[in-house]
Amino acid sequence: MPKTIIISNRLPIKVQRTEEGLAYETSEGGLATGLGSIYKQGHNVWIGWPGTYFEDEAEEKQVHDDLSKQSMLPVFLTESEIRDYYEGFSNETLWPTFHYFSQYAVYEDAYWQAYQTVNQKFCDAVMEAAEPGDTIWIHDYQLLLLPELLREELPKSSIGFFQHIPFPSFEVFRLLPWREQILRGMLGADLIGFHTYDDARHFLSSVSRIVGLNTAQGLIDNGYRHIMVDAFPMGIDYDKYAALADSPETKAKIEEYRAALPDQKIVLSIDRLDYSKGIPQRLQAYELFLKEHPEFLGKVTLSMLVVPSRDQVEKYRQLKETIDELVGRINSSFRTITWNPIQYFYRSFPIEELSALYCVADIALVTPMRDGMNLVCKEFIASKLDHKGVLILSEMAGASRELADAILINPNDLGQIVRSLHEALTMPEEEQMLRMEHMQDLVRRYNIHHWVEIFMNRLEYIKVKQMSMATEYLSEEESTQLAENFKKANQRMLFLDYDGTLTSFKKDPTHAFPDEELLEILRCLAQDPKNRLVIVSGRDRNTLHKWLGHLPVDFIAEHGVWLKKHEGEWEMLQHLSDAWKTEVRPIMELHVSRTPGSFIEEKDFSLVWHYRKVDPTLAELRARELSNYLMFMAANINLQVMEGDKIVEVKNVEVNKGIGTTRWLEQFPHDLILCIGDDRTDEDMFSVMPEEAFTIKVGSARSHARFSLDNSQEVRKLLKALCE
């Protein structure tokens, strides 16, 4: 049975050494919580680091055997790998960069080497467990190179990747010296998921501008397959947290907390120790609140939980000192004999105690400077069985895109946090309940199971799409079959693209005129009364007529704008306007002035920017810029932007080669169809062909066509064979 292999840096269980021997305890973190129950279904397996290092082989074997019984496969890392790959590259290079704290990022070659080594180690571990048909789901920023490594080993496998932290804008991401290798690593996946649309947009922008691949409608075309990029806001196990809040253990803890803090409004804050969480700013805002609203002195308590994390790293140690000093200052400034403004805990809490804190809290104060999603706010919402309570949420957290009924704040605006605290503390119960019920409906509906289901459905969808675009090389056997069918047929229809199909590309498009060999092949095919030969091209009608008009062939010119049967006159497929050219031409002219070697070709209803003669590095940059800008414009004026071989073309959206070829299919009888093309514009033609047609894509193995050939020489060879 095919299985799902989940891969993350850490397993959902971590191994610890105790006096009694090895102990296994559940890991903290949203991923372990979120996927904890899912990997146990069927034959699924979870691969990851077990949380500590081992020097004893017997210990390693024991851990391997123990975890295997729980559907887990450990990846063992050395002490130096943990230091350089995890604490180093992952948390001192990627984490600060992806959270917009580039000034903290460390660019160390030794870290990068370790990161590559460990990603390869994970790849080797997956290869031990993977079988044909398995689905592989990779998680988070510690394993950005793994999708590509696995793609090389398992080219046909279904690979999903999900990033749980933000993806920064191109301007920030490009600061990384290894930016291209990281992007190419991620592009090994079939589906790449983020929490928010902004993260997906930033990723697509970086792929477009750094790797130079075409990105449109959330799909990346890498020349072999389409890669889908989408936003999947992660949920929590709503029922689990709601049931936990109603359990006897939690209720006992609630009574205990209420007795310890009688008549207090409780503001709850829960974070891991990290500079991205905005803890010092939150404390400063709370201090300002107490100064500006003395009427709340003695009536409100901030219960602040900070979970220890990486406190051996200097920046985190300094952060902890800052937090300790702020808490000390605020408490010493405002406390009384019977009241402490802040209850500060620097440790992790059991889940029952966390649930009780969620239940007793009147306000959850969640104010990260940057966060991928932040599940604390969703856990708080799920725990409020009485529907009372207010969520104050940073708009920099991914969850803010969903939870519009929270009080949204900018974590850098201390005054706004003060005003929000006052609004939350004085909010009528009816309004609290209305807001909370809306948020609970949303968090209940879009829970962790929904997140997994949606992600897996999209992964399955993109694989089906890829399969539908997979072609096979036209073998000798298939060529022979085509020749036999061709010989038997009495009414053959041949649709042939020109540039890149019948002739190779030239630096100057005007030099791509037909040579004597091509003219002889076309003359031979066109003279056979059983053949109807149609040249389908993006070129303008005058050029096509000048080069091939003396032959008895039909034409579909300018991607389907102009049509001509060899015995008739040119006619327009439908009435079109070219008024848009006045808006688009100046933009293309600006790019010509900035890009030596480029030029504009004007057709009746399209404009083409050619860059075949441009320096390749500059060409990719300018083509991306122009294409992105034109796509932004085109959405408003009913145009289509197409990237072909060293061109960017803008044309009316109402016309394409598919509409033109459909006219011929409807008008003329046929018992054999041969259709050959080489670029994206020919996909419209392939997609309207009947299933039995011989469709051939030149230069690519990914197409709606059934078969592929490598170049125009092979096309000519095939057509010569049909002539004979």
Active site positions, annotated: 497
646 Rama class: left (phi>0) / alpha (psi -120 to 50) / beta: left
Return the number of other C-beta atoms located less than 10 Å from residue 331's C-beta.
Answer: 16
DSSP state of 598: -
Residue 274 · residue 236 · CB < 8 Å: no
The span from the CA of 127 to the CA of 123, in Å, is: 6
For residue 503, give the nearest of 252, 722, 698 by alpha carbon. 698
Where do we find the tokens 């990603």?
119
The span from the CA of 24 to the CA of 331, in Å, is: 38
Extended beta strands in 462-588, E state: 472-473, 492-496, 531-536, 554-557, 562-564, 571-572
Q: Rounded to whole angstroms, what are the CA distances from 713 to 151, 389, 500, 623, 698? A: 31, 72, 10, 28, 10
Residue 172 · residue 209 · CB < 8 Å: no
**3-state DSSP percent of the chain in helix, strand and coil, to 5:** 45, 20, 30
Task: Show the tokens assigned to 514.
Answer: 């037909």
DSSP state of 510: G
Phi, psi of 215 (to 5 degrees): -125, 125
Which positions ≥6 away from 608 have C-beta within 8 Å? 538, 600, 601, 602, 647, 648, 649, 650
Task: Show the tokens assigned to 157.
Answer: 């496998």
The span from the CA of 77 to the CA of 83, in Å, is: 10
Extended beta strands in 222-326, E state: 226-231, 265-272, 300-307
The span from the CA of 500 to the CA of 149, in Å, is: 33
Long-range residue pairs from 53-59, CB within 8 A, at least 24 positions apart, any chain: 53/77, 53/78, 53/79, 53/82, 59/22
Which positions ≥6 away from 344 have C-beta within 8 Å? 304, 306, 327, 331
The span from the CA of 358 to the CA of 368, in Å, is: 18
The side-by-side arrangement of strands in the sheet containing 531-536 is 472-473, 707-709, 694-698, 672-677, 492-496, 531-536, 554-557, 562-564, 571-572
Residue 428, SS3 per DSSP? coil
Where do we find the tokens 């959405």?
635
The span from the CA of 74 to the CA of 68, in Å, is: 8
Extended beta strands in 236-276, E state: 265-272
Where do we find the tokens 């002219």?
589
Task: Show the tokens assigned to 5.
Answer: 């292999």
Which positions ≥6 away from 437 have C-beta within 8 Å? 387
The span from the CA of 625 to the CA of 623, in Å, is: 5
The radius of gyration of the chain's CA atoms, rounded to the nearest angstrom, is 32
Task: Show the tokens assigned to 571.
Answer: 């006619």
Which residue type does 303 have?
S
The span from the CA of 110 to the CA of 494, in Å, is: 59
The span from the CA of 33 to the CA of 10, in Å, is: 12
Phi, psi of 426 (to 5 degrees): -110, 5
β-strand 4-10 against 135-139: which pairing, if any? parallel
Phi, psi of 269 (to 5 degrees): -140, 120
